[in-house]
Structure 1
Amino acid sequence: MTSQKSTASAKAPQRQRGRERVASLLDAAAACFVDKGYEAATMTEIAARAGAAIGSLYQFFPTKEALAHALMTQYTQSLQQHLQQLAAQSGDWNDDQLGTQLIRLLVAFRRRHPAFAVLAESLASLPAVRGLAIRQHLREGLQELLGQRITHLSSSELHAAAVVVLQLMKAAVALSAEVGLVGRKSALEQLERALQLYLASLAKR
C-alpha cells in the first residue's frame, strides 16, 4: 500500500521569496539528478546543494518524487511553449527550414536541461511522472503544426506523421548525446536531411 507521504505533492509558494527558494531547490535537484542519477540522489544532498535547511526542502517537496514531478512539469510546459513559438514563426518557412528547426529544438533543449533526459529515462515507471504524458503533448503539438501546413492529410495521417517526426527528433538528441561518437556532425546533418525529405514527401501526398 502506498504511503500518504509517497503520494504527497509539492506545495506551491505564495510569495516571491518562496518562489525564489523553490526555483533554487529545483535547480539544485536538477544538478544532483544529473551528477548522481535519480535513484542515488538524496534529499539531504539536494538541500545542501541549494544551501537550504532540509526542513525547507520538505516544506515545499515532501518527497523526491514530488521534486521530479515538479521538474518534469516545468520541462513539459517549457517544451510546449518552444514548440508553439516555432509553429507561430514557421508560416513562411519551407520544408528544409522547418526540418532544421525541429531537429535543433529538442537537441538544444536537452543541452540546456540535461536533467530532462535523466528523469525521462529514469522515471518512466513512476505514476506521477508517467501521467504527464510528455510524448503525447509533443505529438499533439507537432500534429497541430503539421496540420497548419499540410491541410489535405486526415487526422490519423497527421497523427502518424507527428509520431515519425518526433522519433527523428529524438534520434537527433540521442546522436548529440552519445559519448565519443565519431562523425557526429555528419550524422546529424544526414538525419536533418532525412526529416526535411520526409516533410516534403508529406506535402506531396
Structure 2
Amino acid sequence: MSSHNSTEPRRKPQRQRGHERVAALLEAAGTCFVEKGYEGTTMTEVAARAGAAIGSLYQFFPTKEALANALMEQYAQAVCAELKSLAEPSLNWTTAAWAEHLCAFLISFRKRHPAFLALVESMPKPAADGLSIRRRVRAELQALLAHRAPHRSAEEIHAMAVVVQQMMKGAAAIQAEPGMTGRQAALEQMQHAMQVYLHGVFKT
C-alpha cells in the first residue's frame, strides 16, 4: 500500500522557473498517460518527454501515483473554475442555451484535457479519486443552479445537481463511444431531455 508521503508532491516550486518545470512535467505526463495509460507509463518516459532529468522529476514527484494525483487535481480545479465562470453569463441564457452549454461541457473539457479521462479509467482505485472530483463538480453545479433558481430549497438543488450531472456524463458517454451510429441524433435527444428537465427546475 502506498504511504501518504508517496502519493503527495515531494515539494512545491518556489520560483517561476520551478513552476514552469512542474508545468512541463505535468504536460508530458498527461501525454504519456493518454498514449499508454497509467500502468504503461513510466517515470523515465515522462522525464524524457519533458526533456528533463529523471532526478528533476523525482525532486517534485516521488512516485508515479503522486504525479498522476497532481495532474488529476489540476484537472479538478480547472473543471470547477470553468463551471464557476458560467454563473454570471448563464443568468441571461434561455433554457435551451442552458441545455446546450451543459450537455457540451464535459465533452469539450475531455477533448481539451484527454488525460483526464485516461487517468479516471486507468488509475487503480482508489488512487483515482473520481468520487472526490465528482462531488466537487456537483457542488459547483449546485451553486450554478441555485444562482439561477433561488426559489428552490437546498435539498431540491442538491437533487437537481445530481440529475444534471448524470445527464452531462451521459452526453459525454454518447460522444465517447467508439463507432456509434446516430451519435448526433442521440446527442440532440439528450440535449432536448436536459432542456425539458431544466424547464421544470427553473419554473417558479
Question: When the two structures are superposed, what TM-score results if normalisation uses the length of structure 1?
Answer: 0.92
Alpha-carbon offset, residue 8 of structure 1: 4.3
CA distance in 2, matches of 1:52, 1:84: 35
CA deviation digits over 1:170-194, x for unaligned, max 9?
1111111111111111111111111
CA distance in 2, matches of 1:191, 1:11: 44
Aligned residue in 1 for 2:102: 102
Question: Bigger shift: 9-18 or 167-176?
Answer: 9-18
Aligned residue in 1 for 2:163: 164
Give the 3-state SS of the residue equivalent to 1:89 in structure 2.
helix
CA deviation digits over 1:68-93, x for unaligned, max 9?
11111111111111101112211111
1:1-12 equivalences under 5 Å are 2-3=2-3, 6-12=6-12
Q: Which runs of 5+ in 1 are unaligned?
A: none
- Counterpart of 1:153, as a letter, is R
1:158-197 equivalences under 5 Å are 158-197=157-196
CA distance in 1, matches of 2:67, 2:131: 14
Aligned residue in 1 for 2:136: 137
Distance change (3 Å), C-alpha of 1:10 and 1:83: farther
Same amino acid, percent of matched pairs:
55
Aligned residue in 2 for 1:43: 43
Alpha-carbon offset, residue 163 of structure 1: 0.5
1:46-85 equivalences under 5 Å are 46-85=46-85
Alpha-carbon offset, residue 52 of structure 1: 1.1
- Counterpart of 1:50, as a letter, is A
CA distance in 2, matches of 1:43, 1:180: 33
Aligned positions, number: 204
Q: Which runs of 5+ in 2 are unaligned?
A: none
- Counterpart of 1:24, as a letter, is A
CA distance in 1, matches of 2:133, 2:52: 30
CA deviation digits over 1:111-152, x for unaligned, max 9?
00011011122336235x428811111111111111122222
Distance change (3 Å), C-alpha of 1:8 and 1:102: closer
CA distance in 2, matches of 1:65, 1:32: 14
- Counterpart of 1:116, as a letter, is F
Aligned residue in 1 for 2:32: 32
Distance change (3 Å), C-alpha of 1:62 and 1:132: farther
